[in-house]
Structure formats: C-alpha cells, structure tokens
Chains A and B, each alone.
Chain A
Amino acid sequence: MMPRLDVNPRTMAQRQPLAEMLVDLIGAVSPDCKSGLRVTSVLLDLPVEIRLLQSGDEFILLADLPRWRWATDFDEVRSRINLECREGDFQ
C-alpha cells in the first residue's frame, strides 16, 4: 500500500527523501582544505530502506539508512545504494 500525504514528507515518522539522505552523508565527508587532508572522492555502498510517498500528484522517493542493525520481519526489505561522488560541479 503506497501512503498518500499532502504535508511535508519529513513529518512521516522521520523518514527522509533520498536527496536529503545523500546530502547529509556526503556533507559528513565534505572536502575541507583547512584540515590538511583532502577527500577527493567518496564511494558509498549502503543498505537502505526505500519507500514511495505520494504527495499530491508527485511521487517522492524516501530512503533511510536501516534503523536497526538486525532486520526483523517488521522492517522493510533492504535495498542497496552504491554511490560515487567526486570533487567538482558536474552541472
């Protein structure tokens, strides 16, 4: 059953859109020249819980890192995201 919601998706049991999860994760390892070390690329391979939320006519892809280390039958079946980021602006 796909949930429908006409409010901010963040209010739905703290689930967050995929974009917010990616920005949070990548932000945690942002390159910072002041530290002396510089991260030039990030490769992430993550288990994620994916859900779709219908907000009006739009579908929002929600993705969260697993809330528990061990999955139970009450948790969503986990998908996996493999993400590669590099320094720069690809736009």
Chain B
Amino acid sequence: MSDREGGLPLEQFIQALTSQLDRAQSTMALKARAGLPLTFAVKDLSLNLRTHVEMVDSVVRIRPAGPGEGDASTLHLSLTTITRPMIEENTYAFAAAPDEPSLKEAVGKEMSESDIRRLEWSGIHTVSQLREAQKHGGEQAIERASDIPVMRLRAALARASQPMMSGVFALNVRSDEPELANATLLRIQGHNLILDEDPIVRINGESVPVVRAHPREIVVAVQPHHLQGKLSVETGPGAVGEREFKIAGQPSPTHEGAQP
C-alpha cells in the first residue's frame, strides 16, 4: 500500500500533527505581538483518533476512519508543550558553519530529493550535522529515523567528506622558516581539507610543503612554477579533491610574521 492509496507511516502522522500545533502556537504568538494584551498557548493536547492501523514492511501505518467505518481502532495520542531550554538540554548542539554547504550541495548526487528531505525532517541539515549524528547516534539510528539504508548513508558521507576547494589565493607574506624563505605562500580555502593527519597537497603532480592545515584552510609554500595548474588535496585513502587554478600576478612579499 502506498501513501497515496491508504495509510501513512505513524511518524509522518505525528509530524503532521505537531506541525499543525506549531502553526497554531506561532499564529497565537503573532496575534499577541500584533496587539492583543494576552494570549493563550497550547499546553497539552490529547487526541483520540479513530483510525485503521496496519503493518506494512515493519512500518506502522494509519489511515483515519472514513464514513461507515465504525469498527476502526482508537489511537490515543497525548502531547505536551516543552520549552526551548528543555529542548536544548536534551539535544546535541550541532553547530553549522555559516558558509557550510547544504546537504543537497554536498550529497545531492548520491541521495535523492526525498532522502535529503527525510534527513532534514530528522533534524540533519548540514554535512557536519550528519557526521555528528553518525558519531553520537550511529548509522542504525539515522537509518531508523530517516528510513535511508546504511549503505547509502555511508556513500553519501564518504562523498561529503571529500575535500572541496572553493578558492586559491597567493598570500602577500613569506614563511618565517628559513628553508621556505624564497617560497610563495598559497592559501587554499574550502571544506574537509584535513581529516586525521596533515593532507598531501600536489600541484601539477608535484608534492608541495604544507605550512599549516585546518579543515577550512590550508597554506602551502610553492615555487614560481606552481602558480597555476592542477591542484590536488588528498586527506586520506581515496579522499582526493582536485581543481584547476591560476594565480594572476605575483604578490609583493613580506615576511609571514609581519602580517596576520
């Protein structure tokens, strides 16, 4: 039985119910801000729903009873309001960087629109949230919550963990290290630029020294013939990001300590 033909998973029904309660609450709060001196807020709600309950492929599905279906089951649901501090106390803090790519940008090729929507419904909107949820709750928990097979999650996470480079810029400074004194410093910006160990950075196939590395930024010391070509960053086995780049003009260098 498909959603369209009969029932829908119980989780989706509860989501539809809570979504309506949220909407009612927001509307009443809006009315209060619009000038009503006081407003009500929903404290508790219980619903005795006359419905048909079915099990399809280990998923509990329900369909509200229609006309003439007096022998339907009764599903009793009780909901109560929880406050923001209660939510925060019981939720992991998943901080998303402001310019972090969305799930769709990062794993849009591996996951369908509906997969991504189910993850978002589970509260996972960014790759770092997906990674954190996997770390804390495990793949099985995400699979249960989002109904996405573990293998597809792994493939998506592997894809999302690939180094991505958004820009390459020449720094207007020189390294303080004597052996790199004549080198130009390049700043590579992006995501996932470091995993457990320092990344291996190559330009046109030649390995270049990494001065410092951060998940969002790598600084490498390069020679004049490294100012254009194919840049690759390898953060682990099979985790390689590549892009073409070209530095326009030569920076007039000072020493690294002279500028932040």
Contact = CB atoms under 8 A, between A and B. Distances in A.
Contacts of B68: 73-74
A79 B81 contact: no
A4 B46 contact: no
Interface residues of A, number: 48
Interface string A47-91: 000111010011111010000000001111111111111111111
Given A31-B37, A83-B45, A87-B40, A57 B28 contact: no
A37 interface: no
Interface in B38-82: 38-51, 63-70, 72, 81
Contact of B65 (A1, A29, A77, A84): A77
B56 to A, nearest CB: 14
Nearest to B84: A91
Nearest to B82: A90
A86 B80 CA distance: 12
Contacts of A22: 20-21, 24, 42
Nearest to A50: B64
B50 A77 contact: yes
B16 A23 contact: no
Interface stretch (B2-10, B127-135, B209-217): B2-10
B67 A73 contact: yes
Given A18-B20, A59-B8, A77-B70, 9 more contacts: A2-B6, A19-B20, A52-B16, A77-B65, A79-B64, A83-B42, A85-B40, A87-B39, A90-B83
Interface of A: 1-2, 4, 17-20, 22-23, 26-27, 29-33, 38, 41-42, 50-52, 54, 57-61, 63, 73-91
25 contacts: A1-B6, A4-B4, A18-B20, A18-B21, A19-B21, A23-B28, A26-B24, A26-B28, A30-B39, A31-B38, A32-B37, A41-B40, A41-B43, A51-B64, A52-B8, A52-B13, A52-B64, A60-B16, A76-B65, A80-B48, A82-B46, A83-B45, A83-B46, A84-B43, A87-B38
